[in-house]
């Protein structure tokens, strides 16, 4: 079904409730395949939704009616088409809780060159504001993540409502409509762990593991976590982008993946949303607030909330890394790729605080995630207003470099027609960064011809991109093994751009050598 047909259906639904649509405006897509539209009439604004997944739609429609009948702050459903593929729901505006978090992080800003993460932090209370100064061991840089009392108040309000959704919303809920499963059980946990393995661990050759032993650890981990009490409504994606802020109150959307499940998962989803960078001390305060609210209905000790909490943090972080791998690395959606370094830092900090000693192969995998830090660190808070030029050396045998900017790639130069130092015995263990290889290549006239052409092409694009205020350009050099010629040209162009355009931001990745450099921060 094409978009114009969807808009016609939504227009008919709007007229069916006595309203005349004046405008039907597409809303930017998120991670799902659902399509959203804002429908403006003389009297109100509505959200029109389309999805061809009827079972998922039925879950959302059922849950919405149930929660709305209980007086909870969820969308009201105004009309549904016969095919159950389109429906109209309440419009809560564009402000969400994450927007408030972003304002706090932007206001804080990096105190040195690049922004660090609030996963392992020291906390200080100041009058009217709670701040956390975060040191980044790998760069020595730090940022001041500021959470105002207003933002913390919104989080507390969200957690108060979460208790109502989980406990009150569970009573009388028709879980037969839940999609894709009625209950968050052992198999669902295994599915999340495999999501992590197949879409994040396996695509990264840097991570070594024994698949049989890891599978056994997954089974044991799932055995333990599935013992958590599960007689509650589990929202499944309770994070700040799904919490709308309107007139000072909070409204909750996108719970179509809900099911019967444990309490911890949703608390973790909110407080460990990685790009929110909530300082650990504030998380601890918010968990304490949640447990106090929960105790009005059920004792946190009775459901062993604290016992299971760190394991649900692990589970959620592994699940989102799987999602970032699938949506980002495979589907090439830049928003998800940009979240990877934040999730890596969170799970690395957790593994130091609460190591998974009972699951040695899983712990080994997690301990190796720091091998990926340099690969993704440059995605954290790129300099505003600067052109970023990413330069790669790679091996054609291993495939083309991925473009994490979301622009689909750039120049790829094939160095295989040039003299090959790799054929000379004395250069076998050297790379294109070693002076012996540099001297060898610089003595070859074809190298200078190639280099002059490359500089002309790249320089033309850099000049044009700067004038047009573009943000990203990728330049890659490939050779047979990614060791000599490609490394030499990537390094040479990096140094040339650094000297010629001191105002741009440069990233250099020698992919096969696992070397990363950065300048212009």
Percent of the chain with pLDDT over 90: 74
Query: What CA–CA distance (Å, rounded) separates 361 from 218?
Result: 9
Q: Do the beta carbons of residue 395 and residue 511 sit within 8 Å?
A: yes
Query: What CA–CA distance (Å, rounded) separates 348 from 389?
Result: 29
pLDDT of residue 326 exceeding 60: yes
Cβ neighbours around 379 below 10 Å, total: 17
Lowest mean pLDDT among 137-146, 163-172, 271-280: 137-146
pLDDT of 380 = 63
SS3 of residue 428 by DSSP: coil
pLDDT of 355 = 95
pLDDT of residue 300 exceeding 70: yes
pLDDT of residue 111 exceeding 50: no
User: What's the alpha-carbon Rg for the chain, to the nearest Å?
Assistant: 26
Q: Where are the alpha helices (DSSP H) in 211-357?
A: 211-225, 264-271, 280-294, 305-324, 334-353
Lowest mean pLDDT among 63-72, 86-95, 337-346: 337-346
Domain range list for the chain:
3-90, 94-179+234-303, 186-225+305-381, 388-519
Taking every pair of C-alpha atoms in the chain, what is the biggest distance, in angstroms?
82
pLDDT of residue 132 exceeding 50: no
Of the two residues 5 and 154, the one the predictor is more confident about is 154
Burial label for 292, CB within 10 Å (0-12, 13-18, 19+), is middle
What mean pLDDT comes out for the span 340-353?
93
pLDDT of residue 73 exceeding 50: yes
pLDDT of 148 = 84
pLDDT of 125 = 30
Phi and psi for 196 in degrees, rounded to 5? -60, -45
pLDDT of residue 131 exceeding 60: no
Of the two residues 102 and 307, the one the predictor is more confident about is 307
The model's confidence at residue 139, banded by pLDDT at 50, 70 and 90, is: very low
The model's confidence at residue 513, banded by pLDDT at 50, 70 and 90, is: confident
pLDDT of 129 = 44
pLDDT of 118 = 34
What mean pLDDT comes out for the span 74-87?
97
Q: Do the beta carbons of residue 76 and residue 89 sit within 8 Å?
A: yes
Distance of CA 445 to the CA centre of its chain: 47
pLDDT of 144 = 39
Q: Do the beta carbons of residue 58 and residue 52 sit within 8 Å?
A: no
Which residue, 27, 93, 84, 37, is CA-closest to 61? 84
The model's confidence at residue 146, banded by pLDDT at 50, 70 and 90, is: low
pLDDT of 418 = 97
Query: What CA–CA distance (Å, rounded) separates 311 from 351?
Result: 11
Q: How many residues does the chain have?
A: 521
Dump strand ranges (E) for 319-443: 388-395, 411-414
Of the two residues 386 and 106, the one the predictor is more confident about is 386
pLDDT of 253 = 97
Per residue in 9-43, pLDDT tens? 999 999 999 999 999 999 976 666 799 999 999 99
The model's confidence at residue 141, banded by pLDDT at 50, 70 and 90, is: very low
The terminus-to-terminus CA distance of the chain in angstroms comes to 46
Per residue in 375-398, pLDDT tens? 776 566 555 668 999 999 999 998
pLDDT of 516 = 80
Query: What CA–CA distance (Å, rounded) separates 22 from 40?
Result: 6
Per residue in 355-374, pLDDT tens? 999 999 999 999 999 988 87
Please give the model's pTM, rounded to 2 decimal places. 0.73
pLDDT of residue 191 exceeding 80: yes
Dump strand ranges (E) for 10-161: 23-27, 35-40, 45-50, 77-80, 86-90, 122-126, 129-135, 142-148
pLDDT of 360 = 98
Q: Do the beta carbons of residue 74 and residue 253 sit within 8 Å?
A: yes
For residue 413, the cross-strand partners are 477
Q: Do the beta carbons of residue 147 and residue 104 sit within 8 Å?
A: yes
Distance of CA 421 to the CA centre of its chain: 41
Of the two residues 105 and 329, the one the predictor is more confident about is 329
What mean pLDDT comes out for the span 415-441?
95
pLDDT of 166 = 98
> What token pair was written down for 517?
């450099």
> What token pair was written down for 143?
């940022």
Phi and psi for 389 in degrees, rounded to 5? -110, 120
Phi-psi region of 406 (alpha: psi -120 to 50; beta: other; left: phi over 0): left
pLDDT of 521 = 56
Of the two residues 146 and 305, the one the predictor is more confident about is 305
Which residue, 488, 475, 456, 484, is CA-closest to 413? 475
Query: What CA–CA distance (Å, rounded) separates 195 from 323?
Result: 7
Lowest mean pLDDT among 114-118, 378-382, 416-420, 455-459: 114-118
Q: Do the beta carbons of residue 474 and residue 404 sit within 8 Å?
A: no
Per residue in 221-244, pLDDT tens? 999 999 999 999 999 999 999 999
The enclosing H or E element of 232 equals strand 232-234
Lowest mean pLDDT among 39-48, 95-104, 306-315, 471-480: 95-104
Superfamily of domain 3-90: Phosphorylase Kinase; domain 1 (3.30.200.20)
**Average per-residue pLDDT for the chain:** 88
Q: At what angle do helices 97-108 and 149-163 cross, to 10 degrees?
A: 150
Which residue, 287, 244, 248, is CA-closest to 269? 287
pLDDT of 335 = 78
């Amino acid at each position: 079904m094409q978009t114009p047909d969807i808009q016609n259906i939504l227009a008919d639904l709007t007229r069916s409730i006595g309203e005349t649509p004046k405008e039907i405006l597409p809303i930017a897509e998120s991670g799902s395949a659902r399509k959203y539209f804002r429908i403006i009439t003389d009297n109100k604004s509505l959200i029109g939704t389309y999805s061809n997944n009827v079972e998922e739609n039925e879950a959302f429609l059922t849950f919405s009616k149930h929660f709305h009948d209980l007086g909870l702050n969820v969308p009201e459903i105004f009309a549904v088409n016969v095919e159950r593929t389109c429906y109209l729901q309440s419009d809560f505006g564009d402000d969400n809780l994450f927007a408030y978090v972003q304002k706090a992080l932007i206001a804080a800003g990096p105190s040195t060159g690049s922004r660090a993460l609030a996963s392992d932090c020291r906390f200080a209370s100041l009058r009217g504001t709670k701040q956390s100064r975060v040191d980044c061991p790998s760069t020595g840089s730090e940022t001041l993540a500021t959470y105002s009392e207003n933002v913390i108040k919104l989080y507390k309000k969200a957690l108060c409502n979460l208790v109502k959704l989980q406990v009150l919303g569970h009573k009388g809920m028709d879980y037969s409509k839940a999609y894709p499963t009625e209950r968050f059980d052992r198999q669902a946990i295994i599915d999340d762990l495999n999501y992590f393995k197949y879409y994040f661990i396996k695509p990264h050759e840097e991570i070594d593991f024994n698949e049989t032993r890891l599978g056994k650890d997954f089974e044991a981990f799932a055995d333990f976590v599935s013992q958590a009490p599960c007689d509650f409504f589990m929202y499944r994606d309770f994070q700040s982008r799904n919490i709308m802020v309107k007139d000072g109150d909070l409204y909750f959307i996108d719970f179509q993946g809900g099911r019967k499940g444990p309490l911890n998962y949703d608390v973790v989803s909110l407080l460990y949303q990685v790009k929110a960078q909530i300082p650990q001390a504030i998380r601890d305060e918010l968990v304490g607030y949640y447990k106090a609210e929960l105790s009005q209905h059920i004792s946190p000790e009775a459901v062993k909330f604290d016992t299971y909490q760190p394991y649900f943090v692990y589970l959620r972080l592994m699940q989102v890394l799987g999602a970032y791998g699938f949506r980002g690395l495979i589907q090439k959606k830049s928003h998800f790729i940009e979240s990877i370094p934040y999730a890596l830092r969170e799970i690395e900090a957790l593994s130091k605080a609460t190591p998974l000693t009972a699951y040695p192969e899983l712990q080994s995998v997690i301990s190796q995630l720091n091998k990926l830090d340099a690969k993704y660190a440059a995605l954290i808070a790129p300099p505003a207003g600067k052109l970023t030029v990413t330069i790669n050396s790679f091996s054609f045998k291993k495939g083309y470099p991925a473009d994490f900017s979301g622009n689909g790639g750039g120049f790829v130069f094939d160095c295989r027609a040039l003299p090959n130092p790799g054929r000379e015995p004395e250069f076998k263990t050297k790379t294109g960064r070693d002076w012996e290889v540099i001297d060898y290549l610089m003595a070859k006239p074809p190298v200078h011809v190639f280099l002059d052409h490359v500089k002309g092409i790249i320089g033309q694009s850099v000049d044009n991109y700067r004038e047009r205020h573009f943000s990203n350009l990728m330049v890659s050099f490939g050779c047979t093994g990614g060791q000599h010629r490609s490394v030499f040209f990537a390094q040479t162009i990096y140094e040339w751009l650094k000297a010629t355009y001191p105002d741009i931001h440069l990233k250099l990745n020698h992919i096969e050598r696992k070397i990363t450099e950065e300048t212009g921060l």
